Amino acid sequence: MSIRKGLALAGALMVLGAASASAQEYTIRASHGESTDSALHRGWQVFEAYVESASGGKIAVEIAPAGQLGSMTDALEQAKSGAIQMAHGDEQTMSTFYKPMLILATPYLFANDEEGMAFVDTPFFMETREKMAEESGLRLLAAASYGFRNFTNNVHPIKTAADMEGIRMRVPPSPMSLKMVEAMGGSPTPVPWVELYGAMQSGVVDGQENPTGVALDYSFYQVQKHMTLDSHQLGLNTLMMNEAFFQSLPVDLREIVVTGARMAANTEYGERNFQARVSAVDKLRELGMEVYAPSGEEVETFRTAVKEPMRAYLQEELDPAFVDAVYSEIESMRAASRAAVE
C-alpha cells in the first residue's frame, strides 16, 4: 500500500471513529449483585445487547456484576443519587426506598410466578410504580421471578401449617417473615446469612426458607433432610433506573430501555423457573433430600394460618385502603383467569 493510500485509509477510520463516538449520547452504568454465570446476569446482558443495538449506538451500557459497586442497598442508593443509572433490586429491598413495595413480599399473596409478575404490570400497580418513581427517584422498569421461597428442616416433613409447631425456623431479619412462622406455631429465629449453614449444621436452627435453587447452590442438602414446596413468598428481581435519567431520554429511547428491561426479565425468569420447578428439585432428590409437594388443600392450611396476621401487619405499616385494594385486585385477576377457561 502506498503512503498516500495508507494516509487516506487512516483518515477514513478516524472519521468513522469520530462519527461512532458522536452517535453515543447516553451511558447507562448498571450494577447487580450476582455472578457472571447467573441467570440474572444473562438477562442483563440481553438488556445491554438490545439497548445498544436498538438505539443505533446512542446508548452505551456498562454492567458491573457481582456486587462490584457494593451491596444491593448501596447500589440502589447510587442509582437514586444519579452516581449510576441502573441497579438491581428485589421484593425485600425496594420497600427501603418506597414503603408500599413491602406488599410484594407478603407470604402466600400470589398463587404462582405468572400471577405475581402479571400483578406488577397491572394498571393498578403501575400507579404505585409511578408514585415510587416520583417520590424515591427510582423507577421499576421490569421484574423477574427468581422462584418462591420454600421451607426445609431436619425434624420431619412439613405437609401442613400444623407441622411447623415447635420447629426453630431460620428467617431473615424481616418482621413479615417472623410473623409468618409465628402464625404457624413455629419458632422464628433470625440468623445472618453468613452464619446460616453453620447454624443448621450445629442444630442452632432446625430449618430455613429460601428458593429451591439456593438450597442446591449452597449445598443445604448436606445439612437439611426435608423440603416442602409450599411456595410461600415470591422472589422478584427488579431492574431499577434513576428517574431523572429516564426522563432525560427522548421518548423513543425510553421505549427501548423499557423493552430491553422486559427482555432481561423474561430471560432470567425462563431459566429460573426451569431450575425452581425441575432441575433443582430433581438434583436435590438425587442428592438425598426428601422433597414434598403439598396438595392444594394442604397449601390452603398455610394460607389460612397467615392471611389475617399478615393483612393486619400490612394495614399497620401501610395505608389500609391500599392493602385492601391489593387483595381486591388479585381476587379480580383470579376471577378473570378462571372465567377465561370456563
Say whether pLDDT at 131 is over 90. yes
Residue 153 pLDDT > 90, yes or no?
A: yes
Better-predicted residue by pLDDT, 63 or 14 = 63
Mean of pLDDT values over 95-124: 97
Assess whether pLDDT exceeds 50 at residue 230: yes
- Whether domain 18-341 has CATH 3.30.70.260: no
CB atoms < 10 A from the CB of 338, how many?
9
The model scores a pTM over 0.95: no
Identify the pLDDT of residue 309: 95
**Residue 161 pLDDT > 70:** yes
Nearest in space to 93 (alpha carbons), one of 238, 190, 208: 238
The cell for 181 is 412462622
Q: Residues with Cβ < 8 Å from 285, sequence gap 6 or more?
A: 291
Q: Regarding beta strands 168-171 and 86-90, do their DSSP bridges make them parallel or antiparallel, or are they unpaired?
A: unpaired
What confidence tens digit (pLDDT) does each residue in 171-195 have? 998 899 999 999 999 999 999 988 9
pLDDT at position 21 is: 44
pLDDT per position as a tens digit, 254-301: 999 999 999 999 999 999 999 999 999 999 999 999 999 999 999 999
Q: For the chain, give every domain's residue range.
A: 18-341
Q: Where are the alpha helices (DSSP H) in 275-319?
A: 280-286, 296-317
15 pLDDT band, cuts 50/70/90, is very low
CA–CA dist 240, 87 (Å, integer): 5
DSSP of 67-102: TTT--HHHHHHHHHHTSSSEEEEETTTHHHHSGGGG
Q: For residue 289, give the H/E element and its range.
A: none
Distance CA 280, CA 209 (A): 15
Q: E-strand spans in the chain?
A: 26-31, 59-64, 86-90, 138-153, 168-171, 187-190, 207-211, 226-242, 290-292
The span from the CA of 99 to the CA of 101, in Å, is 5
Q: Average of pLDDT values for 93-108? A: 96
Longest CA–CA span in the chain (Å) reads: 87
Confidence of residue 149 (pLDDT cuts 50, 70, 90): very high
Beta-carbon contacts of 176 under 8 Å, excluding residues fewer than 6 positions away, are 102, 105, 106, 107, 310, 313
d(CA 224, CA 208): 9
